[in-house]
Structure 1
Amino acid sequence: MCQAVCVLLAMTLVLQCCKGEDFYSHTIKDHNGNDVSLEQYRGKVTLVVNVASRCGYTEKTYRELKKLHDILSFGGFFSVLAFPCSQFGDQELSDMSEIIDFVTSEFDVEFPIFNKINVIGEHADPAFKRLIEESSVVPDWNFYKYLVDETGHTVKAWGTRTSIEEVFDDIQAAVDKAKGASKPDDSKNFASSTTDASKDEL
């Protein structure tokens, strides 16, 4: 009896833990190899992309991502998050310093470029596994795009060939939603003040 209760308690704790986990719950490595908590992005919308420097889509997509970030990051409610990956055609540079030099000199990007990761397979990064699990979209090439809302959950995902222009409205809508969620609810105060004013008039 006691053993059964212990097992049930353990299962409950596991389920609660899993239920509370989302993309922003993870810790990843920055381009210098330091641990970075994704909790710093909670409350923001992020577009997570597996990037490569030597892909046929590199120039077009990086320029689109830069423009997107420049437009929507104003106000602090949006960021592109780039994860270099060599799993598709071995098209990413081998050294992180080379990658950073390339994207900053060629495209003048200001959004975060994290450390190289695997996005599929046995050694896939847990944060990226979370994106795939929630979206049911498995990348099969570079520049897959995952839209994560302010609560850390994946709400949309698009493949390599989908341009940023095609999905801009969806991303902007998510950012607008995040902005709205961050505003204090003044409706109660308004209702209270209206009621008080009505009482004063009586």
Structure 2
Amino acid sequence: MEALGGYPVKSSGPKVKKLTVLLSMTVGVGCLFLLQTQLLKPQKPADFYSFEVKDAKGRTLSLEKYRGKASLVVNVASHSEQTEAAYRSLQEVHRELGTSHFNVLAFPCGQFGDTETGTSSYIEAFAKSTYGVTFPFFGKIKIMGSEPEPAFKFLTDSVQKVPKWNFWKFLVNPEGQVVRFWRADEPMESIRQEVAAMVREIILKKRAEL
């Protein structure tokens, strides 16, 4: 090949083509790596109902079954000074508002003194036989320390408060977001009123969608 004036010019076509192919391959591999990293990266659950937990028998259970309902999530204990009064009032609310739109969800925790020392299955059986509760019980969890139960940590992170004792209550809306919490010594009547108001909203919304 000659340029104007008759001087020969060396062709660089093959080298340029090889370089282009190499760059394309490098970019392609980089994109695939980034895509794979994003796909393999564990996604943080966006709401309470996105979590899986253990039931009282040790079986894995998805909280998705409670989506669309209001939930009052409580860290319970069998041998606390508040146990009898708390279980009876929680059962009353659970029975009154029914399971179609609302549930009390009990998570035993043994980190507050010696108030919960038994196994998960014993805790559930004790509460049912002694206090006649019918609401769901889950496996015994940790709330504090380096290995807190992820589902319960979602609750405490949402309100920026960690229970100081047994029977703290967290109200979760149908979308799985925490809207309110109560400490153990707060009156159950005010809790019942707020839960009932949320249940009414759920019922009205469902009627409007018919």
Q: 2:90 aligned with 1:73, yes or no?
A: no
Q: How many positions carry a matched residue from both structures?
A: 183
Give the % identical residues. 40
TM-aligned CA deviation for residue 133 of structure 1? 1.1
Structure 1 gap ranges (5+) = 187-202
Aligned mate of 1:159, from 183, 187, 193? 183
Q: Deviations over 1:119-162 (max 9, x none)?
A: 12211100001001112221010000000000000000011111
For residues 12 and 184 of structure 1, the distance between their equivalents in structure 2, rounded to whole angstroms, comes to 39
Aligned mate of 2:137, from 100, 107, 113? 113
Q: 1:132 to 1:184 in 2, by over 3 A?
A: same
Q: 1:166 to 1:184 in 2, by over 3 A?
A: closer
2:95 counterpart SS class? helix
Q: Which has the larger radius of gyration?
A: 2
Q: Deviations over 1:73-120 (max 9, x none)?
A: 15x000000001000112113222321221111111110011100012
For residues 107 and 70 of structure 1, the distance between their equivalents in structure 2, rounded to whole angstroms, comes to 13
TM-aligned CA deviation for residue 13 of structure 1? 10
Structure 2 gap ranges (5+) = 1-26
Please tell me whether the aligned partners of residues 43 and 182 of structure 1 are also in contact (alpha carbons under 8 angstroms).
no
Partner of 2:199: 175
Partner of 1:194: none
Q: After TM superposition, list the pairs within 5 Å mapping 1:95-134 onto structure 2.
A: 95-134=119-158
CA RMSD of aligned residues (A): 2.4
TM-aligned CA deviation for residue 175 of structure 1? 1.2
Please tell me whether the aligned partners of residues 68 and 164 of structure 1 are also in contact (alpha carbons under 8 angstroms).
no
For residues 169 and 10 of structure 1, the distance between their equivalents in structure 2, rounded to whole angstroms, comes to 47
TM-score by length of 1: 0.81
2:80 counterpart SS class? coil
Partner of 1:191: none
Please tell me whether the aligned partners of residues 49 and 83 of structure 1 are also in contact (alpha carbons under 8 angstroms).
yes
Q: 2:23 aligned with 1:23, yes or no?
A: no
Q: Which has the higher contact order (CA 8 A, sep 6+)?
A: 1
1:79 counterpart SS class? strand
Please tell me whether the aligned partners of residues 119 and 140 of structure 2 are also in contact (alpha carbons under 8 angstroms).
no
| Range with bigger deviation, 38-47 or 119-128 | 119-128
